[in-house]
Structure 1
Amino acid sequence: MTSPLIDKLVELKGVESNYIDAWGKPARVNEQSKSKLLEAMGYQVKDSDALEKQVEVEFQQMWMSPLNPVQVNREAKDLYITVRLPIELVNDDFELSILCENGDLLSQKFVPIDGDLINTSLIDEIEFQEYLVKIELSLTIGYHTLRLMAEDGDIISSMRLIMAPASCYHPEQIEQGNKIWGLSVQLYCLRSATNWGVGDFTDLAKLVEESAKKGAQFVGLNPIHALYPANPNACSPYGPSSRRWLNFIYIDVTAIEGYLSDDVQQIVNDAEFTATLEYARNVDYVDYEAVTRLKLRALEAVFNYQQSKYLTKNTKQNKEFKAFVEQGGDSLEMLAVYDALQESLAAQNKPSWGWPVFPKEYADFQSSAVAKFKKANASRVKFYLFLQWQAALQLEAANQVAEKHQMTIGIYRDLAVGVSEGSAEIWGNKDLYCTDASVGAPPDVLGPLGQNWGLPPMNPDKLYHQQYQPIIDLFDSNMKSSGALRIDHVMALLRLWWVARGDNAKDGGYVYYPVDDLLGILALESQRHKSLVIGEDLGTVPEEIKSKLAENGVYSYRVFFFEQAEDGGFYSPSHYPIQSMSTLTTHDMPTLSGYWHCHDLELGKELGLYPTDEILAELYVSRHENKQKILDSLHGHSSIPEWIDQKVDQLGMSKELNFGMQTHMAGGSSALLSLQLEDWLQMDKPVNIPGTFNEYPNWKRKLTRQLEHIFTDPELVELAQNLTNARLNASK
């Protein structure tokens, strides 16, 4: 299975052979795994002759391309590009013409041989030479097009030239030393008197307003990416259909013009409809099928109203809708077509969970059959475009509430690490994704068996040859209508753990990505959107990415329970990096109450997450020791009342202990503090249990109290004031 050529490819394609595991020990990726990852990238590793030819063609194509597809440079640094030409042309006069993003046209003449010769190669008996050419022109930050032009004006080649700032955006108040706090919540889990069984954008606006009034400076969300209207039980926000677009389920139907029309009211006042709505509101776990059915039925009628009144006429609304669709481009059209097609196939009882099981003629967005479907079902496609438009409008309305209350950050969004195998995003750009592999994680504390997330990774080579456009689009779209972006598993900018199809997660391997280029693009989009960036850097994290993130202005993610010294004690939050967001728990962890009472270990045992009873027993012992260390730290900092027991043996979680831990964190040095709304409500059930699928109702559990009642609770009002005061004191 191995050969010198495969070994060379492993090195060239960024497949890592050695790494340090989550316990700080050296680990090695086996040879078979590395070959499988190359195979997932499209290399014919099982046929040495075919592989040699494949690599040769790739090599020749590179040399015969005068310019690279894309280059990312930082402002205030010297700019060089490489130019490859046949030897007979290196003495000729050429011009570099740069079309700037703002429309300016700059040019520079040069003769290749006057530059620095850095490499040569013989292709079909023709010698090619590669030169390093310095760009003497001054460029502003942005996305520019550089063209290599012959003396007669012919365009020989072109590339994208990205000029990026030195660092991501930091709000002025944060730079001045202010330390702030905010709430994090899974939007779907909000209960309210008005929503339809799932939290919506109107709930979000209310949450933002009430949080701001109590001193919070942000509200953090789970990913609100587009999922699957025709497959509502595929509800994980971290396994979306498209990361560029929004989940329509968060639309507040009642807030759209047309809801009060007779046709819509006849539907929503129907006895069966109202009974289903009552059930969806009161059930403790989100019933995605019921909610989706209700919302689609009502939204169809609202769309018909707007279609009749506005969207077929020369109206302001129609102009705005068309502008939204035009700006969304192919990506938006592709998602709308996908949703309509998936719905159609499901209605015919044909396999429809995702494009891998679509009829062959529909397996590619670019196929003639899909084009015919789109034309024949234009109205339904337009309906799904309409849903995206309304979702964007309502999210922006919530963002405006944050701006009205002058929150330092306002809404902060979450970018998932990938899309699911059957997603619209892959359907529309299969060349970019390696569908015979999946992203995951090697064994670590959260997942002792390793994790396979079922998310096909982007091919770094293809991403580069697509001039990083997919990444640009992701950052741009996810920074809209918000003041910060949390990047889930931010190590993906450096490397991802790939698992070949059919293999166990522990048998995967790391594949590296062009981290400096991706961080440059992140910094550019961050500055443009005035969006602070938080990188979720938990798990197996190499030191090189930590330093790079810090240098690029990305905020680290510090979870109290993971911040332990070698002696087992917990670091004081006053020792956390200023450039970080601190928190007590995350969506992948138990709540404070669940942690303290070991509910997560009990659930893990029931679900078979621990390989042996010995491992589980060790976890119980470790938990007991950790709780004692936490208690020692809390008492040592006078963060909890003296009357709370000094020994953990018989000490259960209480309101005083819970709130004390939160105010303990508020006195820390992190610029940002995020607290889970579940912990405000002293809940015990987790949002998600990593490593489970159907074993536990992940991404469905609602809050125990309605939104209207949370911010009128005197105890929670007092907690909010204590948090605000502690943050103010920490800022001094």
Structure 2
Amino acid sequence: MNHIVEDLVSSRGIESTFIDAWGKPAVVKDCTKSKLLKAMGYSVDDESILEQQVDEQLSNQWLNMLNPVQVIKHDEVFTFPLRVGIEFAAEEFTAQLSLESGEVISQSFEPVEHTLLNVAQLDDEEIQEYAISFEHDLPMGYHSLSIEHKQAELAVSKIIKTPQRCYIPKEIEKGRKIWGLSVQLYCVRSRRNWGIGDFTDLSTLVKHAADQGADFVGLNPIHELYPSNPDACSPYGPSSRRWLNYLYIDVEAIDQFSSKGVQKWMQEENVEATLNALRAVEYVDYEGVASIKLEALNRVFEAYKSTYLSKNTKQNKAFKAFVESGAESLQTLAVFEALQEHLKKQGQEFWGWPVFPDEYKAYDMPAVAEFAKANKERVSFYLFLQWQAALQFEQASEVANNEGMLIGLYRDLAVGVSEGSAEIWGNKSLYCTDASVGAPPDILGPLGQNWGLPPMDPIKLYEQAYQPIIELFSSNMHASGALRIDHVMALLRLWWVYKGDDACDGGYVAYPVDDLLAILALESQRNKSLVIGEDLGTVPEEIRSKLADNGMYSYRVFFFEQAKDGGFYSPSHYPCQSMATLTTHDMPTLSGYWHCDDLALGKEVGLYPDDEILATLYDSRHENKQHILDSLHGHHSVSSNISHDVNHVGMNTELNYALQTHMATGTSALLSLQLEDWLEMDKPVNIPGTFKEYPNWKRKLSRNLEDIFTDEKITALAKNLSNRRKVASSD
């Protein structure tokens, strides 16, 4: 590896070594580091071009008077770096700070009167970098700094002043322990939905859960997927993380659904019979749901447009305001979806922008602008869907507020977007599409994991003044009392895998963690949204401390909280600043775990290379179940009806509920329980490492929403949970 490549590896944050999941040092191969640089756009195979790229990069850094963005922590004095040619160092400049409030603060200065930081020689010109002290205190928020010389604006930078930590509700700070339900929204059955859970179901679930003492309802990622490719249904591989999945719209709740034209279509096409069939199937029929919902939404939109959007109505004003606030991000999504729909009608499967015709490969191409202009009505339709989705989600949030929930809705932010996404299509320079994020080998995934999600380039994110991440945090915290960040390690580092390589041959790339955490804290405080970081897997202990200091809550899963002797830690030993849970969307249900259904399914779909490994997993599960029984009996969390010997214990209602109430006695401020476990279901919602082998993200709940909270066993469980949380709060 030549010195240029070595320097780039260091400057671009590619780690040469790391500590693996077993606590042992691991070394990243030189060829892997070179490939990751290649994914970032460097010509590592041609030294002369590479040298030119590095020289241009260095020159650009010095020729820019200001950094694109600067994050100022709550206790820091505002000092900004300024780069000028030596001949201008003694001249007068004006720093003009435009605050978010509209106030403008000006300060004149001569660079030479401030601290000299560095000097660079570019060709025949000497560039000097000074630290300019700004004499005024800054309020929290997003501000703009401009530098003027002789009344000419020379440079602009974004200045972000951030609070000390993320938002935490006062009652939780004072020690209150709460619980809530988590649910995959698409799984929800009801007698009125259209074969998939929707935002009206969510409002109903929120009200019922609040009545039972819950303080939040946690959701799977509800990001927008692909209207023209509905079977691409993984909530963790979305098209856009800023916008909502239109399939969750309750069509019947939209004004104009009751119009004559829509109702005539409902009757003539016997739509109710189709809906009954979609409700009855065991797994969500995404193709069927998308087909009937899009047809209905098209008809509702036409009626709505005729009644409201073609006139100067309050609805039209609200719609236009929504579109304006969504700016280019919303427009990009709507154009992408209209274009993908158009291409699909040509009879081909255009799953995403990589297979679009060349003239449509990026949002900023002339042919795309022409398409958007020529298909303004279809673009408007997809804008309308996002507006209605936002209104219905906000309504569910309002129900939570009215019911007195302390947190209310609790959202989940996926770690990335899929390769063919609208998000990448609209900002291709930000993403390294020749790489994918994943995870190195660990106990649960000995071969490593490749998630098929292209990573953001940290340098491009910085050059774009962190705007994409600001919008991401802000939109996902909107109308939500909490946000779970999937794979929170992404704020510190991401495991990059070069396209075509095995996941174990990847390497870590560092991200500006302090800046990202500070921005997260600012958005959290603004939206009054508590933040939970999913810190599972290979996580350095120092990052856990950093997250905690930033006010972020850890994520503690009972089945992973084991001591070296195999025993399970008591929930009373969990960190107070954490959310505890029994299982996750990537794990079996309680019933599935106890009966080893996940291992049987894994064998069925070919996850295990040989019977020896599977036998080891069965033995380990048997030992763990015994340790669980020992812990439950040791803490008097289960009655003598349940044997102390695992060989005589099958999963039943008493054991299931005992595990849940055992967790409720713990010290974690937050406890999340899966609705599937309330219903004692056995099938998992997802089997990691599978694609077509199992119907991931499709399995529905076993009972209708209307029937769940009339079950006396379930209401008794909820009451017990609430009582135990109250006791834990007073300890």
Q: TM-score scaled by structure 1?
A: 0.99
Task: Pick from 409, 419, 423 the counterpart of residue 407 of structure 2.
Answer: 409
Find runs of 4+ consecutive structure 1 residues off by over 6 angstroms: none
**What is the identity, as a one-letter code, of the residue corresponding to 1:254?**
E
CA distance in 2, matches of 1:659, 1:341: 49
Q: Deviations over 1:54-110 (max 9, x none)?
A: 000000000011110001111222222111111111122222111000011112222
Once the 2 structures are TM-superposed, how far is the Cα of residue 526 of structure 1 from its aligned partner? 0.3
Query: What residue in structure 1 maps to residue 75 of structure 2?
Result: 76
**What is the identity, as a one-letter code, of the residue corresponding to 1:638?**
H
Once the 2 structures are TM-superposed, how far is the Cα of residue 669 of structure 1 from its aligned partner? 0.2
Once the 2 structures are TM-superposed, how far is the Cα of residue 157 of structure 1 from its aligned partner? 1.1
Task: Pick from 323, 331, 334 the counterpart of residue 333 of structure 1.
Answer: 331
Query: What residue in structure 1 maps to residue 65 of structure 2?
Result: 66
Query: What residue in structure 2 maps to residue 669 of structure 1?
Result: 667
Pairing 1:111–2:119 present = no
Residues 479 and 527, structure 2, Cα contact 8 Å, conserved in 1: no
Query: What residue in structure 2 maps to residue 551 of structure 1?
Result: 549
**What is the identity, as a one-letter code, of the residue corresponding to 1:82?**
P
- Matches of residues 62-461 of structure 1 in structure 2 within 5 Å? 62-150=61-149, 152-461=150-459
**What is the identity, as a one-letter code, of the residue corresponding to 1:15?**
I
- Matches of residues 436-515 of structure 1 in structure 2 within 5 Å? 436-515=434-513
3-state SS in 1 of match to 2:556: strand
Deviates more, 1:542-551 or 1:719-728: 542-551
Residues 628 and 648, structure 1, Cα contact 8 Å, conserved in 2: yes
Percent identity (aligned): 64
3-state SS in 2 of match to 1:206: helix
Residues 342 and 352, structure 1, Cα contact 8 Å, conserved in 2: yes
CA distance in 1, matches of 2:92, 2:370: 50
Once the 2 structures are TM-superposed, how far is the Cα of residue 194 of structure 1 from its aligned partner? 0.3
**What is the identity, as a one-letter code, of the residue corresponding to 2:110?**
V
Residues 246 and 389, structure 2, Cα contact 8 Å, conserved in 1: yes
Q: Any gaps of 5 or more consecutive residues in structure 1?
A: none
Deviates more, 1:720-729 or 1:685-694: 685-694
Query: How much is the aligned-residue C-alpha RMSD, in angstroms?
Result: 1.0
CA distance in 2, matches of 1:221, 1:643: 35
Query: What residue in structure 1 maps to residue 48 of structure 2?
Result: 49
Q: Deviations over 1:364-419 (max 9, x none)?
A: 11111111111111111111111000000000110010010110000011110000
CA distance in 2, matches of 1:224, 1:679: 21
CA distance in 1, matches of 2:347, 2:449: 33
Once the 2 structures are TM-superposed, how far is the Cα of residue 271 of structure 1 from its aligned partner? 4.8
Residues 75 and 140, structure 1, Cα contact 8 Å, conserved in 2: no
Deviates more, 1:645-654 or 1:458-467: 645-654
Residues 77 and 137, structure 2, Cα contact 8 Å, conserved in 1: no
Query: What residue in structure 1 maps to residue 654 of structure 2?
Result: 656
Residues 108 and 137, structure 1, Cα contact 8 Å, conserved in 2: no
- Matches of residues 10-49 of structure 1 in structure 2 within 5 Å? 10-49=9-48
Once the 2 structures are TM-superposed, how far is the Cα of residue 267 of structure 1 from its aligned partner? 2.0
CA distance in 2, matches of 1:533, 1:189: 25
CA distance in 2, matches of 1:12, 1:401: 49
**What is the identity, as a one-letter code, of the residue corresponding to 1:9?**
L
Deviates more, 1:133-142 or 1:584-593: 133-142
Pairing 1:678–2:686 present = no
**What is the identity, as a one-letter code, of the residue corresponding to 2:420?**
G
Q: Deviations over 1:159-204 (max 9, x none)?
A: 1000000000001111121100000000000000000000000000
**What is the identity, as a one-letter code, of the residue corresponding to 1:423?**
S
Once the 2 structures are TM-superposed, how far is the Cα of residue 134 of structure 1 from its aligned partner? 2.2
3-state SS in 2 of match to 1:353: coil
**What is the identity, as a one-letter code, of the residue corresponding to 1:49?**
S
**What is the identity, as a one-letter code, of the residue corresponding to 1:457?**
P
**What is the identity, as a one-letter code, of the residue corresponding to 1:646?**
H
CA distance in 1, matches of 2:67, 2:655: 58
3-state SS in 2 of match to 1:715: helix
3-state SS in 2 of match to 1:269: helix
Task: Pick from 556, 562, 565 the counterpart of residue 564 of structure 1.
Answer: 562
**What is the identity, as a one-letter code, of the residue corresponding to 1:13?**
R
CA distance in 1, matches of 2:608, 2:165: 42
Residues 182 and 675, structure 2, Cα contact 8 Å, conserved in 1: yes
Deviates more, 1:129-138 or 1:269-278: 269-278
**What is the identity, as a one-letter code, of the residue corresponding to 1:120?**
V
Once the 2 structures are TM-superposed, how far is the Cα of residue 262 of structure 1 from its aligned partner? 1.6
* Aligned residue pairs, count: 730
CA distance in 1, matches of 2:245, 2:488: 22
Once the 2 structures are TM-superposed, how far is the Cα of residue 611 of structure 1 from its aligned partner? 3.4
3-state SS in 1 of match to 2:647: coil
**What is the identity, as a one-letter code, of the residue corresponding to 1:76?**
D
CA distance in 2, matches of 1:676, 1:28: 39
Residues 13 and 511, structure 2, Cα contact 8 Å, conserved in 1: yes
CA distance in 1, matches of 2:54, 2:654: 64
Once the 2 structures are TM-superposed, how far is the Cα of residue 273 of structure 1 from its aligned partner? 2.8
Query: What residue in structure 2 maps to residue 640 of structure 1?
Result: 638
Once the 2 structures are TM-superposed, how far is the Cα of residue 714 of structure 1 from its aligned partner? 0.2
Q: TM-score scaled by structure 2?
A: 0.99
Once the 2 structures are TM-superposed, how far is the Cα of residue 608 of structure 1 from its aligned partner? 2.2
CA distance in 2, matches of 1:87, 1:661: 70
Once the 2 structures are TM-superposed, how far is the Cα of residue 272 of structure 1 from its aligned partner? 5.0
3-state SS in 1 of match to 2:579: strand
